[in-house]
Chains A and B, each alone.
Chain A
Amino acid sequence: MTQAIPTVHLIDDDIAFLTATARLFRAAGLTVAQFGSAQEFLASLTLETRGCVIADLKMPGLNGLDMQTALVRTKNPLPVIFLTGYGDIPASVRAMRNGAEDFLEKHAPKEHLLEAVNRALSRDAEAQERRDRVNEFRSRFASLSEREHEVLHHVLQGKLNKQIAFDLGIHERTVKAHRTAITTKLRVHSVAILTRLAQEIGLFG
């Protein structure tokens, strides 16, 4: 899987403001993608898209909050920073509840803006890392055979080899062999870590 470069996705219906803000981010060494409308941005969004979104709260067509709602429903909910021309308390409350990363005034100093962007970018990176890890484990778990899966299920319930052998009607030595195969395939040796990982990826409900 090729990782896309973390990009600041700027959305504003005002071309002058869009260009100027994009310039600032580029000057700060960031990669920027510009969009004239929320629809345009959502159309460009893929699972590989990395980075964060900075959007004007009020835009013709799909406004900032509606865009955020749509974004949260996708499988790639990038962090969102809202820019607003004037303090709109009800809208900001709604945005933050919806998980907005930040809510800044249009005229906030660049330090605040860059700080917020960096925070958003690292949050996205963390989220991505976590997603990658989960995916990785999921594929490792997927490589287990059916019997190994059964054995793992019993192991996670804290049963001893003898009990497992009895339950499954197999020899205790066979259970041991399965356990070795499991630890090799999953590259995890402690039962405690196995339990946590299984929980994290939602194995066995």
Chain B
Amino acid sequence: MNWMTIAWSMVAAACLTLGMINLRVAIGQNHPTPYLFFFANSLAVASLAGLELGLLEATNLQQYESLLHWAQLPVWVMVVSILGVVWSLFRTGRTWLAVVAAGLNTIALIANFVAPEPGIRHAVAVERMPLFGATFTYAKVENSPWNLVDVMSVAILLVFVLDASIKLWQKGERQRAAIAGGGILFFMLAARAYALLVETGIVHTPYFLCFTYFGVLIAMGHELSEQVLRADRLALALRESERQLAHVERVSTMGQFATSLAHELNQPLGAILRNAEAAELFLQSPAPDLEELRAIVRDIRKDERRACDIIDRLRSFLKRGDLDARPLSVGELLHETVKLTRPHATSRGVTLQMTEAEGLPLVSGDRVHLQQVLLNLVLNAMEAMNADQNNKGYVTLGAVKNPSGAVEVFVQDTGPGFSVENAALLFEAFFTTKRRGMGLGLAISRTIIEAHGGRLWAERNGVQRGATFRFTLPSSPADCLS
């Protein structure tokens, strides 16, 4: 095996690898066209490499002739796929130029196989020649008039690519135009020019066609991978803005019941004040009751802890962050939600109830994010009943294990419910029936639940008034016991 066999085989292998990667990308893409063209192109270049290797090793004129004849097929695939990639990726080329180039090349292909002559190019003599320690078969090649059609189609292809690149450059995407457009043009020209030099006998070397075409492939591949990266960056930016939005929504949720929270904080702070004042009075007596004073100090400490817990809860809720999934108990989550919203409910005259939620498997989830969903649902429920003054409302929270083993959480209210026509819009961003409100709460809640691998939906209560919101959370794999 000489170096030529190795080099040409490597090019073929590299082409196939690139092709397979892009085929895989095409399968997962909404716009697979450029990736499919690229895949076709890589197959064509790989087969050209194979055929070229065959030419180098050909032992007689007839063999050479036959291989040269067949080479026109991958050349055609290559021309059409280059046009396809540039057309579908740049979206700035003139379609008619691409069609003309493809059409002319098709005519050349048909002529190659149908015309009475051996082909649009044919070898007239072969001889073995040395090159860097190896020998290869060199042939003197003559072109038929049909070859002119092939040359013209390639020329139009070059015009098409040049035109598309210039327009892309003018649109401001200079890097793409220079690297992809410039790369394709340079390697195409190089390939054709060198082939001409070989065929006219000015240089006596192999065609090296597959190497230059491989260059074209690389130029296009660079552009395509750039597309994939761009999509990835976009997805990342989207996730980030989703997270920011969730944070904004959390802050505004907090704002909704800031007064209730102030009330909750007032309790321990008020208790601390009264205890301190009582201690002052006790200390004024000639023989202070030390037992009582000790009890006071103990209670002050306890209330300080309580106030801190409220603030911690707030802080952890407002903290922005990624999904940090841990095994957690839905029952505890519901208790916390009730604790946070109880003052709000009391001040609105809404009765907050919680049904038994014990014996449930743990779920895997992010405490803060799930808390946000629950708060959102509970506050929505209360708000709904506020719109309906004559009806002293009930909000019921609970959770059950559904047949598939997931935990299903529900928040039920006795408010006015929602209309059938609104049912489809509930989870749309910026849809709201509240006077104040961005209409993001439910949209974000659904995103959060879906990120947990669950589902969030709404039901109209049958006989009774009101609505029920339900969401599922898959049980945690860490929960082996149940």
Q: Which residues of A contact B (CB under 8 A)?
A: 14, 16-17, 19-21, 23-24, 26-28, 58-60, 63, 85-86, 106-107, 109-110
Most buried by A among B299, B342, B347: B347
One digit per residue, 1 when the CB lies within 8 angstroms of any chain A CB and 0 when it does not, for chain B 264-296 equals 001111111111011101100000000010001
- Minimal Cβ-Cβ distance residue in B for A16: B271
A20 lies within 8 A of B271 (CB): yes
Most buried by A among B262, B270, B279, B292: B270
- Count contacts on B: residues with CB < 8 A to the other chain: 29
B24 touches A (CB below 8 Å): no
B281 lies within 8 A of A58 (CB): no
Partner of B266 from the list A19, A24, A28, A107 (CB cut-off 8 Å) is A107
Cβ distance A160 to chain B, nearest Cβ, rounded Å = 64
- Minimal Cβ-Cβ distance residue in A for B282: A27
B277 lies within 8 A of A19 (CB): no
* Complex Cα spacing A102 to B213, Å: 93
B233 touches A (CB below 8 Å): no
A23 lies within 8 A of B263 (CB): no
Contact (A14, B299) CB under 8 Å given A27-B278, A86-B262:
no
B259 touches A (CB below 8 Å): yes
A86 lies within 8 A of B259 (CB): yes
A24 lies within 8 A of B259 (CB): no
B262 lies within 8 A of A24 (CB): no
Partner of B274 from the list A17, A63, A85 (CB cut-off 8 Å) is A17
B268 lies within 8 A of A23 (CB): no
B306 touches A (CB below 8 Å): yes
* Complex Cα spacing A24 to B274, Å: 6
B302 touches A (CB below 8 Å): yes
Q: Which residues of A contact B347 (CB under 8 A)?
A: 58
B221 touches A (CB below 8 Å): no
A110 lies within 8 A of B263 (CB): no
B266 lies within 8 A of A106 (CB): yes
- Minimal Cβ-Cβ distance residue in B for A63: B346
A85 lies within 8 A of B292 (CB): no
Summarize B's interface: helix, strand, loop or mixed.
helix
A85 lies within 8 A of B263 (CB): yes
* Complex Cα spacing A14 to B303, Å: 11
Other than the known A20-B271, A63-B349, A107-B273, what 14 A-B pairs have Cβ atoms closer than 8 Å? A17-B267, A17-B268, A17-B271, A20-B272, A23-B292, A24-B275, A24-B278, A24-B281, A27-B278, A27-B279, A27-B282, A28-B281, A85-B262, A110-B274
Across the A-B interface, the 5 shortest Cβ-Cβ residue pairs? A27-B281, A20-B274, A85-B266, A23-B278, A24-B278
B119 touches A (CB below 8 Å): no
A19 lies within 8 A of B271 (CB): yes
A14 lies within 8 A of B267 (CB): yes
Q: Which residues of B contact A28 (CB under 8 A)?
A: 281
* Complex Cα spacing A14 to B281, Å: 23
Q: Which residues of B contact A16 (CB under 8 A)?
A: 267-268, 271, 299, 302-303, 306
Most buried by A among B263, B278, B292: B278
B299 lies within 8 A of A24 (CB): no
A60 lies within 8 A of B342 (CB): yes
- Minimal Cβ-Cβ distance residue in A for B269: A107
Cβ distance B288 to chain A, nearest Cβ, rounded Å = 10
Question: Can you give 7 contacting A-B residue pairs, CB < 8 Å?
Answer: A16-B299, A20-B273, A20-B274, A24-B281, A27-B281, A28-B281, A106-B267
Q: Which residues of A contact B331 (CB under 8 A)?
A: none
Cβ distance A77 to chain B, nearest Cβ, rounded Å = 24
B262 lies within 8 A of A20 (CB): no
Q: Which residues of B contact A17 (CB under 8 A)?
A: 267-268, 270-271, 274
* Complex Cα spacing A17 to B271, Å: 4
Q: Which residues of A contact B271 (CB under 8 A)?
A: 14, 16-17, 19-21
A60 lies within 8 A of B346 (CB): yes
- Minimal Cβ-Cβ distance residue in A for B342: A60
Q: Which residues of B contact A85 (CB under 8 A)?
A: 262-263, 266-267, 270
Q: Which residues of B contact A26 (CB under 8 A)?
A: 278
Q: Which residues of B contact A20 (CB under 8 A)?
A: 270-275, 278, 296, 299, 303
* Complex Cα spacing A107 to B306, Å: 17
- Minimal Cβ-Cβ distance residue in B for A109: B277
Q: Which residues of A contact B281 (CB under 8 A)?
A: 24, 27-28, 110
Q: Which residues of B contact A60 (CB under 8 A)?
A: 342, 346
